[in-house]
Amino acid sequence: MRRVELPEFSANKYGWPSVIRSQILLDTPHPVDWSSVVSVNQDRLGSPTISAVPQLADLAAFIRMDDELAKRLTLPGIETSDLRERWLDHDTLELVGDIVGRSVGLGADTDAELLAIYLERERAIFNAKLSVDVVVPILLTQFDTEHFAISKDVRIERMDEATNASRAPHLHSTVNPFLQAAATHAVVLSGLEIANPGPGPRSATRGSQIDSRIADVAFQAIEIASSTPVGYAQILLRPIGWSDGWTHDLPPIETVNTVRRYPPAFDEQGWNTAGRSIALSGLTTLPKIFENLSRALPRVELAARRLFQSDLRVDEDDILIDACIGIEALLGEGRDELTHRMSLRAAAALSTGSASADPRAIYDLTKKVYAERSTVVHGGIRKKQTIRLGDQEFSTPRSAWVLLRYLLLSALEADEPWTPAGLDGRLFDSLAHDDATSSGKATQDR
């Protein structure tokens, strides 16, 4: 009798989930695959066919006779009657087998409990719209909170053992499965709906219905708020109140996409390290940053994307260029992108707010960063020098990253995000103030 692969959850010594998938499915700890007890149209190791079980035969006949129902179950393009009938017979067995397997997994035996299980499958077949959460595990990053609301419909959520076990079959081979598993928390987007033309047609269009850009904004905002580079590899869909099927007692999870949106250093057996940690105190400004970034001008969106994108680079020259493009997006205006003007604007922007930096130091830093940028873009060899910021020393690319991050923090923390023209206004106001002070002093002297 065929059995269902039930992933076994464990955690390594650093606390990262490590879900084991057994390749041997004949041992008794794995639950029975009830849809395999009966075969579609021929004996399989002595199992009866669907026609030999009257109740199943009646259900299969009912499904085949309802053209609208059949269209919702089969994939587009299945037109031959033989293939269509075998597909629908298979769905009949899967439907009944899933309900039986789920009831065994949950220990459900009352009519009300069985009905509740059935209704989740019914909604997946017939409802025009389906409610979903998008779950994006945050790789190699610990949070000292179970739940943190970024906005009304976006949050950071700790994933329980069952959720981690459910996503094990979705660990795609394009990214190291140990790295994909190494996530304790996820960015969750809720309040979403997808169109439902039926399980068959939906499976072909599911990915195109999910817009993951909101998740990208959340990851960018986390990085800006905490100064900690973060990343992800999986984009998952979590059904709310419906399901296309279950693995025993585990919650349903579906894959939307597998990508490489994380720092390359994570691939270097990052799951065998303590990873990164973001304290709750580092997320204080996150909701405001996320809100402002969600409705920011294109230049601010570009700067945030470049900050996040720079973390995906390996070459330091590429990191420097990404960071400088972000700085130019924030401080440049039209064709006026002279280093001197941008350095002055950076000094004005960071002289107040969270940074409260020395304007002269920021001016000098920006000029040094752009001197090296100029060397890189004109084909020269960049010197491997360091730049001192306070009590720390950084490489020039890292200094550019820090500068861009603080500029984004300054722009997104403000009730009214500043503009390059507004920064120029601050400088002129400062000069006017200095002139007034000097004039007053001269009058007193006379």
pLDDT digits (tens, 9 = 90+) for 233-271: 999 999 999 999 999 999 999 988 889 999 999 999 999
Where does a domain end: 275, 291, 307? 291
pLDDT at position 156 is 98
Q: Residues 6 or more apart from 122 whose CB is under 8 A from it?
A: none
Only one residue has tokens 């969106």, namely 301
Of 88-97, 385-394, 415-424, which gets the smallest average pLDDT?
385-394
Residues 6+ apart with CB under 8 A from 434: none
For residues 409 and 180, give the distance between their C-alpha atoms in angstroms, rounded to a whole number.
Answer: 29
SS3 assignment, position 17: strand
Provide CB contacts within 8 A for 243, sequence distance 6+: 120, 121, 124, 252
Please tell me which of 7-16, 87-96, 310-319, 380-389 the model is most confident about, judged by mean pLDDT: 310-319
- What is d(CA 295, CA 405) in angstroms, rounded to the nearest whole number? 18
- Domain co-membership, 228 together with 364: no
Farthest-apart Cα atoms in the chain, separation: 114
Residues facing residue 11 across a β-bridge? 17
- Residue 200 binned pLDDT confidence (cut-offs 50, 70, 90): confident
Sign, CA dihedral 52-58-60-64, equals positive
Is residue 321 domain-shared with residue 269, that is, in the same domain?
Answer: no
Between 351 and 444, the more confident residue is: 351
Give the whole-angstrom CA distance, residue 129 versus residue 126: 9
284/137 same-domain check? yes
410 and 334 within one domain: yes
Q: Is it the case that residue 444 has pLDDT exceeding 60?
A: no
Provide mean pLDDT across the span 336-347. 83
Whole-angstrom distance, CA of residue 389 vs CA of residue 362: 9
Residues 29, 21: Cα–Cα separation, whole Å? 13
* Same domain, yes or no: 333 and 194: no
Dist CA 259 CA 330 (whole Å): 28
CA–CA distance, 69 with 92 (Å, rounded to integer) = 12
Residues 272 and 326 both lie in one domain: no
Q: What is the pLDDT of residue 446?
A: 45
Of 103, 125, 147, the position where a domain reaches its end is 125
Residues 170 and 257: their CA atoms lie apart, in Å, by: 9
pLDDT at 44: 56
Nearest C-alpha neighbor of 296 from the set 406, 403, 410: 410
Is it the case that residue 417 has pLDDT exceeding 70? yes
Give yes or no: residues 139 and 106 share one domain. no
Number of residues that make up the chain: 446
Report residue 46's pLDDT band, with 50, 70 and 90 as the boundaries.
low
Between CA 144 and CA 149, with CA 147 as vertex, the angle to 5 degrees is 120
Cα–Cα distances in angstroms (integers) from residue 32 to residues 6, 37, 87, 161, 245, in the given order: 10, 9, 22, 22, 14
Provide mean pLDDT across the span 203-227: 87
Which of 97, 125, 153 is the C-terminal boundary of a domain?
125
Q: Give the residue, 202 or 288, on which the prediction is more confident.
A: 288
Residue 391 has which token pair?
Answer: 């009590």
Residues 271 and 168 reside in one and the same domain = yes
If asked whether residues 359 and 432 sit together in one domain, one would say yes
What is the pLDDT of the chain when averaged over all its residues?
Answer: 85
pLDDT at 76 (0 to 100): 60
Q: Based on the domain organization, do 111 and 248 belong to the same domain?
A: no
Q: Is the pLDDT of residue 436 over 60?
A: no
Task: Tell whether 29 is covered by a domain.
Answer: no
Q: Tell me 358's DSSP state.
A: -
Joined together, the tokens standing for residue 112 give 């009300």
* DSSP code per residue over 305-357: HHHHHHTT--SHHHHHHHHHHHHHHHH-BTTB--HHHHHHHHHHHHTSTTT--
Provide the domain count of the chain: 3
260 three-class SS: strand
Strands 276-278 and 141-143: parallel
Helix (H) or strand (E) holding 89: helix 81-106
Residue 437: per-residue pLDDT? 54
Range of the domain at 103: 34-125
Percent of the chain residues topping a pLDDT of 70: 85
Indicate the pairing of strand 154-158 with strand 147-149: antiparallel
- Model confidence pLDDT, tens digit, residues 292-326: 999 999 999 999 999 999 999 999 889 999 999 99
Among 86-95, 116-125, 226-235, 304-313, the minimum mean pLDDT is found in 86-95
Could you tell me the two tokens for 74? 């089969």
Query: Based on the domain organization, do 258 and 354 belong to the same domain?
Result: no
Domain identity same for 217 and 325: no
Helix (H) / strand (E) containing 34: none
